[in-house]
Amino acid sequence: MIDNRLYKHPILPVEDRPTFKFYWNDQELIAREGETIASALFANGIRIFNYHHKDGAPQGIFCANGQCAQCLVLADGFPVKSCMELIKPGMRIQPVNGLPELPAVDPESPLVFEPIEELEVSVLIIGGGPAGLSAAIELGSRGVDCLLVDDKHRLGGKLVLQTHRFFGSVEAVYAGTRGIDIATRLENEVRKFSSVKIWLQSTALAVFSDRKVGILKEGKKYALVRPKILLVASGAREKSLAFPGNTLPGVYGAGAFQTLVNRDLVKPTERLFIVGGGNVGLIAGYHALQAGIQVVGLIEIMPECGGYKVHKDKLARLGVPILTSHTILSANGKEAVESVTVAKVDEKFQPIKGTEKTFACDTVLIAIGLDPVNEFYLKAKEFGLPAYAAGDAEEIAEASAAIFSGKIRGLEIARDLGVYSGEIPNSWYETAEILKSRPGKTYPESFPEKETGVFPVIHCLQEIPCNPCSAVCPRKLIEVDRSDIRKLPVYYEERDGKGCTGCERCVVFCPGLAITLVDYRRDAQFPEVTIPFEFLKEIINPGDEVSLVDVEGKFLTKAKVVSVKSIKGNDRTILVKVQVPKEIAKKVSGLRLQPEISPAEAQYTERMADEAIICRCERVTAGEIRKLIREGLRDINEIKTITRAGMGPCGAKTCTPLIHRLFREEGVPEKEIIDQPKRPLFIEVPLGVFAGLQEKQEKKEAEDERA
């Protein structure tokens, strides 16, 4: 029996939760309490959820975020998004084949309507992620009445998916703490304030011209909120990519992947391939390895990965092939992904014939960037409702930047409301800018000359906003420029006559896992090197032979593990000690986890080939749209009219950027393109919800029956 659940994780706690039966078609399967339907299916090895009504194409998970309808299934006869609905005991799940049937209802059944809840608040915050929570703390601490709505079952936004320690500034944004733990800290903080009301499982649906915001409250009721000020902290959505096979089950976003693995604790794949070398893709790769998933490769179309070098180096050291100047040609497979074909690109980003490689994999993650979810902000502005945006909804950046921008927006709103009369410190805006900054200059690696005693070797070579190392050294031997934390850390051999004691705190605390400790004290010829390691302790034991690598993953030597240390204060980071010849000791940065992966040669496939799907909701191909562009169409509304691209459940969220990309490929200037208007609703909601229809009676009966 297939069971893809994670029962152990190096970072995440795995609770022992009750299990129960459910059915997929007529097959009896086991679910764990708290799983979504999608996760329960993945846990049982099922990843084809339905067949599209237009062309019968198999469909699986795509956004895992309630935004599209790719994961539609029938749950006890009702069509539902399997990524958002929790599985219940005895539930009968079926794939949707073609159009679902609307469940029959006795036309004489009594109907009870309740009036739609309307309420006024000073501030409505959409999104309980890093930005929204930080803003709520600023406002709550000043007694401002706020309503914070979030569509998930718990607060924290994407922080709850982040197992790694955070970058940024220790003082400003909890750098050095793991994302999941920052979520808890922010949530605990915000819950202290009685003026902040929190609605979970509550999705903002629309900002209306009468300046009311429609909310699907707790997944089942409609409410209209009239705020004095709206704060949009709704985060980002992942950009999509068109290539043949781009809608096969197994092709999905890095965010969806992190949700399945780190929130729902299922292993949705055995062999993963990642497209995109930004932080999102790099971190997803790391999370996959932590969950025991093989990462067979990562490609980046640019000559360098756009994400932090420390993230890239981490992956490279663990044995993930990272191919820069490469693009995806196709995802291959009949009903689901079986392999991926990539090729090298020339300076115009065109694939070079003869450089194709195919990697066997079952999942392809698309992590090519994020777009702000800013439609509520734009609508509010259009309708004259005072509004702010914070975090990714304002500008795509790291979560640490989102925490800080939320804090600033919170105080700005407090000022607008007259509850804060001071100025917003200029230094706040400066810090915000620094936290948002993209990676800067990379320097060549240089090592301390000393070969005695004990000291850290800092393998941090790129300017990024980060300073935890400087905060943990008890002797203040590591310094990061306080006025600009993007500068590289500097190590001082001694301060006030006192040098490194080998306390290992810097090794443990560095979010980039970019500090090792070299200790010559016991054997100057074979010094001991301490390496940070964030994997399960049981996979590495003293005496094991490991392959040691330099900062970028180049093989140095094999060596035996001397000891493995895991102490409570390390917050789940393990320290692995090895002994190596002094010639390479300072170079050792990590150890390889994965065996070598070699791709197979492959056939050339045209990029953005005509069969690539642009609108996945309505199954509209690149070829259909390209033909219209070549006929001279420039109005996306007209393309929509003819092809239905953009008319599906996701509300043109996915296809619009892809259509723009097609225009670019066809050489059409952006200013000639006419966009389609954004209209409500943000997600599909049953008609009965808007009517205030009471369903209690029926639901209870259904539950009694099940019991």
Partner 1 sequence: MNGLNYDVIIIGAGSVGTPTALFLAQKGYKVLVVDRNPSPGQSSNKRAIGGLRATHSDPAKIKLCLRSLKIFSTWQETYGDDIEWYKGGYCFVAYREEEEKTLKEVIPLQKRHGLNIDWLEAEELRKLIPDLNPAGLRGGTFSPEDGHASPLLAIEAFYRQAKKAGAQFKFQEKVTGLTIEGGKIKGLVTDKGSYGAEVVINAAGAWAAEIARMAGMDVPVKPDSHEAAVTEPVQRFFEPMIVDIRPVKGSANYYFYQHATGQIIFCITPSPSIWGFDERETSEFLPMVSRRMIELMPRLKNIRVRRTWRGLYPMTPDGFPIVGWSREVQGFLLAVGMCGQGFMLGPGVGELLTRLVAKQPGPDDEEILSYLSPYRNFVSEEKLK
Using CB under 8 A as the criterion, which residues of the chain lie in contact with partner 1 when the complex forms?
Answer: 53, 69, 78-79, 98-109, 111, 113, 116, 206, 208-210, 212, 214, 222, 224, 382-383, 633-635, 637-638, 640-642, 649, 651, 674, 679-681, 684-688, 690-693
Minimal distance, residue 553 CB to partner 1, in Å: 48
Alpha-helical runs (H) found in 16-81: 37-43
Minimal distance, residue 378 CB to partner 1, in Å: 13
Closer CB to partner 1, residue 81 or residue 357?
Answer: 81
Rounded CA-CA distance 471/242 in Å is 45
Q: Which residue, 69, 74, 37, is CA-closest to 54?
A: 69
Ranges assigned E (strand) in 47-190 = 50-51, 58-59, 72-75, 78-81, 92-97, 117-126, 146-149
Alpha-helical runs (H) found in 104-206: 130-140, 170-173, 179-190
Closer CB to partner 1, residue 581 or residue 680?
Answer: 680
User: What is the torsion angle, in degrees rounded to the nearest 10, for the CA atoms of residue 697, residue 96, residue 69 and residue 241?
Assistant: 170
- Which DSSP helix (H) or strand (E) runs through 627? helix 622-631
Minimal distance, residue 555 CB to partner 1, in Å: 54
The token pair that represents 398 in the structure block = 């790291």
Give the position of tokens 């230094």: 427
Closer CB to partner 1, residue 210 or residue 596?
Answer: 210
DSSP 8-state assignment for residue 539: G
Give the Å distances, CA to CA, from 471 to 9, 45, 155, 282, 437: 28, 45, 28, 26, 21
Closer CB to partner 1, residue 346 or residue 698?
Answer: 698
Q: Which residue, 324, 250, 312, is CA-closest to 286?
A: 312
Rounded CA-CA distance 631/478 in Å is 62
Burial (CB count <10 Å: 0-12, 13-18, 19+), residue 617: buried
Closer CB to partner 1, residue 32 or residue 616?
Answer: 616
Closer CB to partner 1, residue 577 or residue 634?
Answer: 634
Closer CB to partner 1, residue 382 or residue 701?
Answer: 382
Closer CB to partner 1, residue 233 or residue 636?
Answer: 636
Minimal distance, residue 690 CB to partner 1, in Å: 4
Minimal distance, residue 439 CB to partner 1, in Å: 40
Closer CB to partner 1, residue 206 or residue 345?
Answer: 206
Minimal distance, residue 110 CB to partner 1, in Å: 9
Rounded CA-CA distance 650/563 in Å is 52
Minimal distance, residue 674 CB to partner 1, in Å: 5
Beta-sheet pairing, 454-458 with 326-332: unpaired
The token pair that represents 219 in the structure block = 């997944």
DSSP 8-state assignment for residue 259: I
Closer CB to partner 1, residue 113 or residue 555?
Answer: 113
Amino acid letter, residue 42: F
Rounded CA-CA distance 72/74 in Å is 7
Q: Which residue, 459, 476, 524, 473, is CA-closest to 502?
A: 473
Amino acid letter, residue 388: Y
Minimal distance, residue 88 CB to partner 1, in Å: 17
Contact 419, 476 (CB under 8 A): no
Neighbour tally for 63: CB within 10 Å:
23
Closer CB to partner 1, residue 539 or residue 702?
Answer: 702
Closer CB to partner 1, residue 484 or residue 675?
Answer: 675
DSSP 8-state assignment for residue 270: S
Minimal distance, residue 386 CB to partner 1, in Å: 17
Minimal distance, residue 641 CB to partner 1, in Å: 4
Give Cα 208 to chain centroid, integer Å: 30
Minimal distance, residue 59 CB to partner 1, in Å: 15
Burial (CB count <10 Å: 0-12, 13-18, 19+), residue 158: buried
Minimal distance, residue 222 CB to partner 1, in Å: 7
Closer CB to partner 1, residue 79 or residue 527?
Answer: 79
Minimal distance, residue 108 CB to partner 1, in Å: 6
